[in-house]
């Protein structure tokens, strides 16, 4: 079946990091960012934007240096969307060896190039 044209940016974006890695493995460990400075968050947002197939995203609330969860907000609602199934997209920060990755709900991993993580401890 021919993929939807609207799906191509998302498809390419998802294939890009997937080309570098596959699904999350058992050795992945929950992680948090070492820093949430502007440069780090710019990289994180860039990767997450590509993962959800959008040019611009807004992250939901939370401190990624303390919690391994990142959320990407959906686009804002149009006033006519009075019964919208929209929800934030949830990603988990993981350490794969020394590499920091984010994992989506389908267990697919997206590397965060140049971003430092440390193991998450409760």
Compute the distance between CA of residue 92 and CA of residue 67 in angstroms, rounded to an integer: 9
As measured in angstroms, the least distance from the Cβ of 34 to other proteins is 12
Q: Among residues 30, 41, 65, 111, which is the contact residue for other proteins, using CB under 8 A?
A: 111
In angstroms, how far is the first alpha carbon of the chain from the final one?
A: 45
Q: Report if residue 41 touches other proteins, rule: CB under 8 A.
A: no
Q: Report if residue 36 touches other proteins, rule: CB under 8 A.
A: no
Q: Report if residue 65 touches other proteins, rule: CB under 8 A.
A: no
Counting Cα atoms < 13 Å in the Cβ hemisphere of 27 gives: 5
Compute the distance between CA of residue 84 and CA of residue 111 in angstroms, rounded to an integer: 31
Q: Report if residue 87 touches other proteins, rule: CB under 8 A.
A: yes
Q: Report if residue 4 touches other proteins, rule: CB under 8 A.
A: yes
As measured in angstroms, the least distance from the Cβ of 101 to other proteins is 8
Closest CA to 10 of 51, 71, 59: 51
Q: Among residues 22, 35, 104, 122, which is the contact residue for other proteins, using CB under 8 A?
A: 22
């Amino acid at each position: 079946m021919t993929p939807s044209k609207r799906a191509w940016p998302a498809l390419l974006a998802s294939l890009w990091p997937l080309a570098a890695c596959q699904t999350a493995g058992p050795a992945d460990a929950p992680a948090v960012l070492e820093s949430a400075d502007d440069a780090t968050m710019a990289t994180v947002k860039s990767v997450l934007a590509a993962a959800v197939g959008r040019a611009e995203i807004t992250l939901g609330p939370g401190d990624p240096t303390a919690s391994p969860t990142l959320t990407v907000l959906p686009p804002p609602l149009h006033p006519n969307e009075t019964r919208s199934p929209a929800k934030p997209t949830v990603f988990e920060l993981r350490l794969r060896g020394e590499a920091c990755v984010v994992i989506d709900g389908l267990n697919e991993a997206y590397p965060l190039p140049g971003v430092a993580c440390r193991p998450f401890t409760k």
